[in-house]
Amino acid sequence: MARRPRREDSVTARPERAATLAADGMLLLATAIWGCSFVVVRLVLREMSPMVFVAIRFTVAAAALCPFVARRPELFRPASVRAGAVVGGWLILGFALQTVGLVRTEPARAAFLTGVTVVLVPLLLVLLHRKPPAAASLAGVVLATVGLLLLTRPSAGGLSSGDALVLLAAVAFALQVIAVDRHARAMPPFVLLFWELVTSAVLAWPAALLLERPIVSWSPLALGAIAGCALLATVFALWAQIEAQRVSPPTRAAVILTAEPVFAAAVSYCVTGERLGPAGIAGSALILSGMLAAELLPQRFAPPQGGC
């Protein structure tokens, strides 16, 4: 016979529910910051060269994180540095491709194209482990692919060089997510994040000096963009995601994160007047559907666990 819920169970559940709602709110705030950052970066790139902006962003972010990791005994362990170098290598590749791509495409398009990362992660895991893909992963890939075709069809603007760079960035971000999953359990999150940011900054500076004509601006827009992207979109948002996912289950967190391109599209419409058009809207909706399918369907059709 089923046990009747006791009053104590209800009282205990309230703090847990409150903690989950607080975690969801924190993660939604981080998602909104990431979405808004597409528009901010697009605007500041009119004044600064892409890799210089990326290099300054990660340098400021790594410096801001120093007080939080300086006394951690794990900081200078070789394993921590190696893990941060691997994760940071994929991260800076993704940000470099995305930022250069933003010079040649619009913020909302870039955000939806970057969102393909959610679909690519399970697909790349299948390729790396050489196992047949799950039905949910295939469904997500099909939906996202059709969405990409609609979003980049000639009537919606076609596939620009910027779009192609952002898609390559999505692949790099997917590999970064896989690398984080592999290394995060072996060390405190802030230690891994610190070396990830340091690696990104160290690799970004040579690229900025060798691969482009460096252009630096210290205008109010540039300073605001650097501070916002370094402190809010990098340090705070990544910390918020780590803290939130200690409470929220991965699927719940992934669903919240799919709102990032929606925020980007809304802000881009208000600030720059960007309109996706009917084909672009349909393609974006399919990409979102693919992102949700890749995360939700495995949970929806998973066999029940445990006893009665």
Both structure tokens of 286: 């399919």
Question: Which is nearest to 237 in space by CA: 89, 19, 65?
Answer: 65
Q: How far apart are CA 192 and CA 83, in angstroms?
A: 7
Question: Which is nearest to 33 in space by CA: 173, 237, 265, 186?
Answer: 237
pLDDT tens-place string over residues 12-22? 556 666 777 77
Q: Note whether 74 and 188 are within 8 A (CB).
A: yes
Instruction: Identify the pLDDT of residue 118.
Output: 74
Output the tens digit of pLDDT for each of the chain's 308 residues: 445 555 555 445 566 667 777 777 888 898 899 889 999 999 999 999 999 999 999 999 999 999 888 888 888 889 889 988 998 999 999 999 999 999 888 888 888 888 787 778 777 877 877 766 667 667 777 777 787 777 666 555 667 888 899 999 989 988 888 888 777 777 787 888 899 999 999 999 999 998 889 999 999 999 999 999 999 999 998 888 777 766 766 556 666 777 788 888 888 888 888 777 777 778 778 777 877 776 666 555 443 333 33
The size of the chain, in residues, is 308
8-state DSSP, 173 = H
Residue corresponding to tokens 């006791």: 6
Q: How far apart are CA 102 and CA 39, in angstroms?
A: 9
Q: Note whether 263 and 36 are within 8 A (CB).
A: yes
Q: How far apart are CA 259 and CA 282, in angstroms?
A: 16
Q: How far apart are CA 156 and CA 144, in angstroms?
A: 16
pLDDT tens-place string over residues 105-129? 888 888 888 878 777 877 787 787 7
User: What is the Cα gyration radius of the chain?
Assistant: 20
8-state DSSP, 153 = S
Q: How far apart are CA 104 and CA 211, in angstroms?
A: 17
The dihedral region occupied by 284, where left means phi > 0, alpha psi between -120 and 50, and beta the remainder, is alpha
- What are the structural domain ranges in the chain? 26-300
**Is the model's pTM score more than 0.85?**
no
Q: How far apart are CA 186 and CA 86, in angstroms?
A: 14
Q: How far apart are CA 122 and CA 150, in angstroms?
A: 23
Q: What b/e string do you get for 28-62 counting C-beta neighbours within 10 Å, with b at 16 or more?
A: bebbbbbbbbbbbbbbbbeebbbbbbbbbbbbbbb
